[in-house]
Amino acid sequence: MLIYKIFRRPEWDALVRDGQSAGAPVDLADGYIHLSTAQQVMETAAKHFRGESDLVLVALESDRLGPALRWEPSRGGELFPHLYRALRRADVVWDKSLPLGAAGHIFPEGVV
């Protein structure tokens, strides 16, 4: 199952440069990397990245993340994937730009 992480471009560039990332400031503060399912990622973008451009959507295969991936209640009690280790470049299945359109972010075909 593919799950997703939204990065701001400088965060993504740092992951590519360093080979791994502990995440965005919110991830560092919470102690884990916030991820979303395909059903959750649009709401995540609207809630946490409203009006932001130059984002990168990253797809990860949940089965390859091992025991560091936990499903925990969050928004409204819904289970969200949280990664309790650094996200490695090798974990990434694909990355695509997440442009901002007039009605919000424009997701790649097949994601939502």
In a domain, 11, yes or no: yes
The C-alpha atoms of residue 68 and residue 61 are separated, in whole angstroms, by: 13
- State the CATH number of the domain containing residue 75: 3.20.170.20
Nearest alpha carbon to residue 54 among 87, 12, 20, 103: 12
The C-alpha atoms of residue 29 and residue 36 are separated, in whole angstroms, by: 18
In a domain, 111, yes or no: no
The DSSP secondary-structure symbol of 107 reads P
**pLDDT of 68:** 98
What is the total count of domains within the chain?
1
pLDDT in tens, 61-110: 999 999 999 999 987 889 999 999 999 999 999 999 999 999 999 999 98
Q: What domain range includes position 58?
A: 2-100
What is the residue type of 30? D
